[in-house]
Structure formats: structure tokens, C-alpha cells
Structure 1
Amino acid sequence: MTTAVSIPKTGGSGGHTAVAARARQVVKAYGSGETRVVALDHVDVDIARGRFTAIMGPSGSGKSTLMHCLAGLDTVSSGQIFIDETEITGLKDKKLTQLRRDRVGFIFQAFNLLPTLNAIENITLPMDIAGRKPDRAWLDRVVQTVGLADRLKHRPNQLSGGQQQRVAVARALAARPEIIFGDEPTGNLDSRAGAEVLGFLKRSVDELGQTIVMVTHDPVAASYADRVLYLADGRIVDEMHSPTAELVLERMKSFDARGRVS
């Protein structure tokens, strides 16, 4: 029998909020002996379903490593990672690849669009490869949400950077994954295009019920999230709910002022 997940003191989700992904005592280390570097140091965290979570921290804090481990893109040295109720740590490569394809979406800083395909073909490509038919009503809703209805026949070289990233966002949403991970998704965009893409990501959470986890170094980008997790030295050291850019910046400055957080 499946039971609801309700585990207190795990990064602050607490209560009875449905959990889309979670880490338990996760350690990620590279090398051994004197050259051993710990990127994640016994991390416990819950990612709430239907919420927008940002992960922040200084360079080398472990934020991208945490996201890659949660997404099944990287292995852990010890501990457990779950997507919903499925433990992905220890899954065989074939099963893990299938899980990522069917249940997880990705948005990267590089748009990763195929130049020979138009926008709608790029959006449906992962489903085409998997032999799955898109849900037409859902696809139409996604296209409307990200504002691409009049650009579907355009190839990437006919689109601006912001439009290309919107295609990438739509591609991640189109298969209705349980959770979407974004690694600096607006890092290659100017502030206006970045704000558009972040607005679409927030709408996908608020209006479509999507779950998004985004690594960012930008306080403005983080302000679109419902919750910000702060990493330092491979550990979650703080979090903020309902953030603003000003509050995020102040929190980051306090970390910088203290140097390495113990």
C-alpha cells in the first residue's frame, strides 16, 4: 500500500505537502584519500509537488551537483534519491534512462534545439523518439502558456534567444513530466528575455500544476520561485519562502560576508 510522504525536518517542506522528489543523507564525493572532495555532505531535502524551487549558493557550493543527483543525471556516493515513491539510487542504467525519459523534464542554459526542425517538431521530438503520441489538448495549452502559437513553423535560426528558450521550456512541459529541472535556464538570455521565460515557468507551476527545480545564481531569477534553498560547502544552510530579489540578494551577501558557512 502506498502511503503519503510526511517527513519533518527535511529542508523545511514539512507538513503533509505532496513530495515530488527527495534526498536522504546524500553524499557526493570525488577522489579519495587526501584528494577527496565532498560536493554534497549528507543532504536531506524534500521538493514539494506543484511548486517552483530555486537552488542558490556560491560557486562550488554543490547546487548543480544536487540538481544533477536529484534528476538522476549523476550518481551519489551514499544516501538515497527518490522521484515520487521510486528510489532512483541503484536503478540499472536502462531503468534510469526510461524514468528520466518518461517522468523528468530538463531545461538547460544551452537551448539544445535541432536546427533542421521547426519549433513544434523540436517540442514533440522527445515524445516522437519514445514512440508516444502527444496529448493534443495539453500540447495546445503548453504552447499558449509559453506564447508560441504564432511561431510553431519557425526554425531556431528564425527565432530570438528568448523564443528558442521558450521552445525548450515547451519541450520540457509537453510530455507532462512529474518534475522539471532547469540549470541556469536564463543564463544565455538578456534581462527582458529572461524575465519572459521565468514568467512562463512560473505560470506553468501556477496554472498547469508543474513542479520545477531551478539552479540559478541570479537573485531576480530566484524571486520567481516559491522557495529558495541555499547551499554552502555541500550542505543546505538556509531557505526562504516567497522570496523577493532584494531579500535573496541580502541573504547571499550575508553568506559572502561570513565566508565559508560552517
Structure 2
Amino acid sequence: MRGLRLPGPGRAAPADVDTAGGAVPAARAAHASRVYGAGATAVVALDDVTIALPAAQFTAVMGPSGSGKSTLMHCLAGLDIVTSGQVFLGNTDLASLTDRQRTLLRRDRLGFVFQSFNLLPTLSAAENILLPCDLAGRRPDTEWFATVVDKLALADRLSHRPAELSGGQQQRVAVGRALISRPEVVFADEPTGALDSRSGRELLGFLRSVVDELGQTVVMVTHDPGAAAYADRVVFLADGSVVEEMEGPTRDLVLATMGRLGSG
């Protein structure tokens, strides 16, 4: 294990991420490590990771099975807590929050898209999209709702329940739900994994457009080089560490890099 720092009493790891000329990244990690278990059975899922994720960009996270990509996303999203180091959403240090504060942060400041859609079957598409507003007790922004629905081409499906929608349409509803609160970051975990190739390409095109046209920030974990090619940047992990970053990715360049790292 390389460079694991366990903080002593009153000591925090330095937040020395390069913030690109003073701009605050949408999310960042500074010397972040995540260890499960202890002693001889300890598993190091993240090992001294320092990374900044720029706002209004599309970042893909890739790596072989067991590389730590899902753990990194979970820590950045406040779904898991690092063992040492720091993780920030904007200027908020996630480790400084209580469990309830992290729950509220995820509800109010983040959006999530999962492979399995996670839609409520008894609600219509419109009701599923607006669910975060309902849970927060907030009146939805009708203009933003209309913009999201239009961008995702769901206007003629709003009254349908999930069982009446195709897989691609269900995932678009899930993206709409993730966007409705205008989150600072949308985290997408293998969002095309349950879709056919055509629906997957359409969904990735929608994610690309919400970055380019709506100014959203998207962070996507994927194993698919073709999906990663839609991103502005790809971050590659291996054995819990960031080993390479690629700007302007193409499918062939990503495939070659994954080949060197060992796909999975």
C-alpha cells in the first residue's frame, strides 16, 4: 500500500489539489484513502488519491475490476467516507458533516443515475422526475422541468409508468430525476449497462448535451471504451490509485489504455 496517511487527533490531510488557476472544482479528493477491515485482512480500495473534477465537464472513471472506481465515486458522492485524506463537494468537506447533513447534501446538491434505473413503479414518469422536489418539500421550477423534459425527449411519455416505457426511456426518466434539482454534480454508475447499444448511445448523447448545453457536471463510472469517448476526460484507476488521465478521449485510445492496465 502506497502512502496511506491515518490522521492523528486534530490533524487533517492537506487539501493541496491543483484547482486550475483558482477555480473551485465541482468535486475533489486530496490524499484520499479508503481501507476496509484491519490488520492482515485489510483491503485498500483507494490509495492516496488526489484528483479534481472540473465543473461543467463530463468525466469518465475507468479501470479494471477491483481498481477502486466505484469506491472513488461513492466517496466523492458522500455515500462512503474515506479512511484518511479529504473529499470536497465544492468547498464543503464531506468528512465534517454528520450523517444527516450528508443525506441532505446528496438530496439537495447531487444527482444519481444507476444501471438499474431505480424508478418507483407506481409513479408516472413526471412524478418520478419530480420526486426529489417532493421529498425536499420544494416547489419545482416549471421552466427547468420543461427544459429537462425537452432535452430528454420525454414530453409524450410523462403520464406513463415505468412498466410502460422502454429501457432507454426509463433511463432517460432517471436522468431527468437526477437533473431536476439542478445538482452540482450528476454521478452516473454504469448508466448504459442495462441498455441495448442504440439506447445506450442515445443516453450518452443526452448526458453529453446536458453538459454542453445546460452546464451540468457529470461523473460517470464505466467499463465501456465507447461510452468513455463521450467524456471530456477519462481518469484511469488501478489498484486503488489514479494511474493515468486522458483529455479528448477516443474509443481506440481508451481501449489501448485499458489493454495496458488489464480490462475488467
Q: Which residue is 1:185 aligned to? A: 191
Structure 2: distance between partners of 1:7 and 1:33 = 30
1:57 aligns with 2:63: yes
- So what's the TM-score if we normalise by structure 2? 0.92
Aligned partner of 2:142 among 129, 136, 144: 136
Q: Which residue is 1:254 aligned to? A: 260
Aligned residues: 250
Q: Which residue is 1:241 aligned to? A: 247
- So what's the TM-score if we normalise by structure 1? 0.92
- Equivalent residues in 2 for 1:92-111 (5 A)? 92-111=98-117
Structure 2: distance between partners of 1:6 and 1:69 = 18
Measured after TM superposition, the shift of residue 36 of structure 1 is 0.9
Tell me the alpha carbon deviations over residues 36-83 of structure 1, each in whole angstroms, 9 at most, x when there is no partner.
110000000001000000000000000000000000001111111100
What's the Cα RMSD here?
Answer: 1.6
Aligned partner of 2:174 among 168, 173, 176: 168
Identity percentage of aligned residues:
61
- Identify unmatched segments of 5+ residues in structure 1: 258-262
Aligned partner of 1:149 among 152, 155, 158: 155
- Identify unmatched segments of 5+ residues in structure 2: 1-14
1:207 aligns with 2:205: no
Measured after TM superposition, the shift of residue 94 of structure 1 is 1.1
Tell me the alpha carbon deviations over residues 182-237 of structure 1, each in whole angstroms, 9 at most, x when there is no partner.
11011100110000111000100000000010000000110000000000000000
Tell me the alpha carbon deviations over residues 136-180 of structure 1, each in whole angstroms, 9 at most, x when there is no partner.
111100111111011111111110000000000000001101111
Q: Is the 8 A contact 1:22 1:82 kept in 2?
A: yes
Measured after TM superposition, the shift of residue 15 of structure 1 is 3.8
Q: Which residue is 1:76 aligned to? A: 82
Measured after TM superposition, the shift of residue 256 of structure 1 is 2.2
Q: Is the 8 A contact 1:6 1:15 kept in 2?
A: no
Counterpart AA for 1:130: A
Could you say what secondary structure the match of 1:139 adopts?
helix
Structure 1: distance between partners of 2:37 and 2:180 = 39
Residues 91 and 183 of structure 1: CA distance in aligned 2, closer, same or farther (over 3 Å)? same
Could you say what secondary structure the match of 1:110 adopts?
coil
Q: Is the 8 A contact 2:17 2:30 kept in 1?
A: no
Residues 36 and 7 of structure 1: CA distance in aligned 2, closer, same or farther (over 3 Å)? closer
Q: Which residue is 1:117 aligned to? A: 123
Q: Is the 8 A contact 1:6 1:14 kept in 2?
A: no
Tell me the alpha carbon deviations over residues 98-135 of structure 1, each in whole angstroms, 9 at most, x when there is no partner.
11111011000111111111100000011101101111
Structure 2: distance between partners of 1:90 and 1:16 = 23
